Amino acid sequence: MGVFVLPYDLLAPGVTGLGRLGEIYFQLPVAMTVGVFNIALLLLGLAVLGWRFAASIVLGSLSFPVFLGVFEALPQLSGLVEDPLYAALCAGAIEGVGLGLIIRAGGSSGGSDVVPIILNRKFKLPIAPVLYGIDTAVIALQLPEANLEAVVLSALYAALYTVVMNYVLTLGTGSAQVFIFSERYEEINSRLLALDHGTTLLRGETGYFRRDCRLIVCVAHLRYLNEVKRVVMSVDPEAFMTVGSVRDVSGRGFTLRAEHLSKE
């Protein structure tokens, strides 16, 4: 924000956008305005949701305006790139990584996140639409002082940090769900279990001949997908197999520590 967004007059969302409005209309320092709003929202969260919630956002709420002021004040960091397009790209990439890491760890940066969370806890309103509405309103208030170039670059910056954030959130968690139809399911199942892949056997019925059959369901990390397919094809080259992408998997072997259990 302090190096790639504010110096190039890009439209800023959230509390930073409120700080920019304070600078535009009242000549107030952005970092100071952001600090005041963050402290006010922190106290609001403490009063409405309790100290546990406040404790989860206190670090982000207090450290962000401090570091924003520091980065803005360092002359070595002003004008790092000449083209505002590069500034928008750098801002989107860095913010996407940062927000993705925070959300992935179950944290919150505080600031404008507080209001949607309060409305969700008290009135069951969905967080994302409320947050987008607040950011849209803050950005709209900056439009009178922005030119077309700033609007276009700001849209690019917002789109990029959304894409990068989603990528960071799902990085390393991609898995595949494999459905295996084969008359030699027992051998395939044994081979997959020997390679430490969990399986589930489902009872089914073929659609044409109405014969009873077994279906193997196996969920594996993407890096092991080819291994699973090779096992199936080596046992039964005529096996029917479908592979679906799974973005999030919870349970033993994924979010919980793997355990090797005895059958006895």
Q: Could you tell me the CATH number of the domain that includes residue 240?
A: 3.30.70.120
pTM: 0.67
159 token code pair: 């789109």
* Coil/strand/helix, residue 176: strand
pLDDT at 165: 84
Report the pLDDT value the prediction gives residue 78, as an integer from 0 to 100.
80
Pick from 22, 175, 164, 26: which is nearest to 101 by CA? 164
Asked if residue 233 has pLDDT above 90, the reply is yes
Domain boundary among 143, 170, 197: 170
Amino acid at 13: P
- Report the C-alpha gap between 39 and 13 in whole angstroms: 18
Mean pLDDT of all residues belonging to the chain: 88
Please indicate, yes or no, if residue 100 is contained in any of the structural domains: yes
Residue 37 pLDDT exceeds 80: yes
Tokens encoding 26: 């009242």
Boundary of a domain, candidates 170, 196, 218: 170
In terms of residue numbers, what domain contains 228? 175-246
> What phi and psi, each to the nearest 5 degrees, are found at residue 250?
-125, 140
pLDDT of 33 strictly over 90: yes
| Alpha helix segments (H runs only) across 12-50 | 14-26, 30-49
Which of 170, 198, 230 terminates a domain? The answer is: 170
> H or E segment at 123?
helix 114-123
Per-residue pLDDT, 127: 74
Is 193 found in the same domain as 165? no
Given this model, what pLDDT does residue 223 score? 75
Classified as helix, coil or strand, 172 is coil
Cβ atoms 117, 44 nearer than 8 A: no
What is the rounded distance in angstroms from the CA atom of residue 88 to the CA atom of residue 91? 5
Mean pLDDT, residues 53-82: 89
Which percentage of the chain shows pLDDT scores above 70? 94
On whether both 132 and 160 belong to a single domain, the answer is yes
What pLDDT score does 199 carry?
94
Q: With both helix axes pointing from N to C terminus, report the angle between 185-194 and 225-235 in degrees, rounded to the nearest 10.
A: 140
Residue 251, helix vs strand vs coil: coil
Token duo for residue 110? 């505080």
More confident of the two residues 127 and 38 = 38
Nearest to 242 by CA among 221, 219, 224: 219
What confidence category does residue 191 fall into, taking pLDDT thresholds of 50, 70 and 90? very high
pLDDT at 88: 95
Instruction: Report the alpha-carbon distance of residue 91 to residue 97 in Å, rounded.
Output: 10
The pLDDT of residue 106: 64
How far apart, in whole angstroms, are the C-alpha atoms of residue 34 and residue 11?
A: 15
Q: How many domains does the chain have?
A: 2
